[in-house]
Amino acid sequence: MQIWGILNVTPDSFSDGGRFDDPQRAIEQGLALAADGAQVIDVGGESTRPGAEAVSEAQETARVVPVLEGLHAAGIEADLSIDTRHAAVADAALRAGASIVNDVSGASDPAMLATVVEHGAGLVLMHMQGTPGTMQAAPTYEDVTAEVAAYLESRAAAAVTAGVDGARLWIDPGIGFGKTLEHNLTLLRDLEGFVRLGRPVLLGASRKAFLGTLTGQSDPSLRLAGSLACALRGLESGVDAVRVHDVRETRDMIEVFTQIR
């Protein structure tokens, strides 16, 4: 199972907002995540937490490009991913050294799939109900697992039709994006169903709010244990990668569990 390290270059992400909004510090953090064992560094310039401030595409691009260029110039061994919903940002990021687009909106920008194809990039399609501003208001599903899986299959089919390389096309159930606590737990319980869809699966649960609900830890940086429980569940279910803040701890957990097994 791969580890994708999270590098948010935003002033307001829920867990690490403001820590890496200086490009030099962000580059150092990206290199540290890679040294700790991340195979992919996922760079994001727009916070998607509920109620986050809107940023223009120009601002988002200006945040991520120097960091991607710096990591690339430093000869980082990890692959670089750009976490964006905007094709113009993805295009600039792919020119700056990224090779994967991580799109929490399932490639909703009409130009996104063509941009990914033009660069021969990898693509993550994530499920979200609603938009970041409204998604946690009242998430509803008849059958969350079936609906999320059907959405991901239809978006993946559209991506393949557009010419995206099927071997580099990831799906992600989108823990916390338009989901109640019960929806998140159901999706985590049903991960094998996503693995059976036959595409690489990425799981992102690190430090998310539902872990605070379950443990009483309101400070995201104190949600490591809950995050590791989710990563272990991902490992057990056969997902291909976990997207995490705490790379070294996750790597150690995977190493120990793998040796036991």
- Catalytic residues, by residue number, are 208, 243
Measured in degrees and rounded to the nearest 5, phi and psi for residue 189 equal -70, -35
CB of 119 to ligand PMM, least distance (A): 18
DSSP state of 201: B
194 binds ligand PMM (CB under 6 A): no
Residue nearest to ligand PMM (CB): 204
Angle at 54 between CA 100 and CA 208, to 5 degrees: 65
DSSP state of 53: P
**List 60, 83, 91, 246, residue binding ligand PMM (CB under 6 A):** 83
Q: Which residues contact 217 (CB under 8 A, 6 or more apart)?
A: 211, 223, 226
**List 5, 9, 15, 68, residue binding ligand PMM (CB under 6 A):** 15
172 binds ligand PMM (CB under 6 A): yes
Of the CA atoms within 13 Å of residue 154, those in its CB half-sphere come to 7
67 binds ligand PMM (CB under 6 A): no
The mark string for 196-235 relative to ligand PMM (x by CB under 6 A, - otherwise) is ------x-x-------------------------------
Helices and strands in the chain: count of H runs, count of E runs: 10, 8
> Where along the sequence are the contacts to ligand PMM (CB under 6 A)?
6, 8, 13-15, 44, 48-49, 83, 102, 104, 124, 126, 172, 174-175, 202, 204, 243
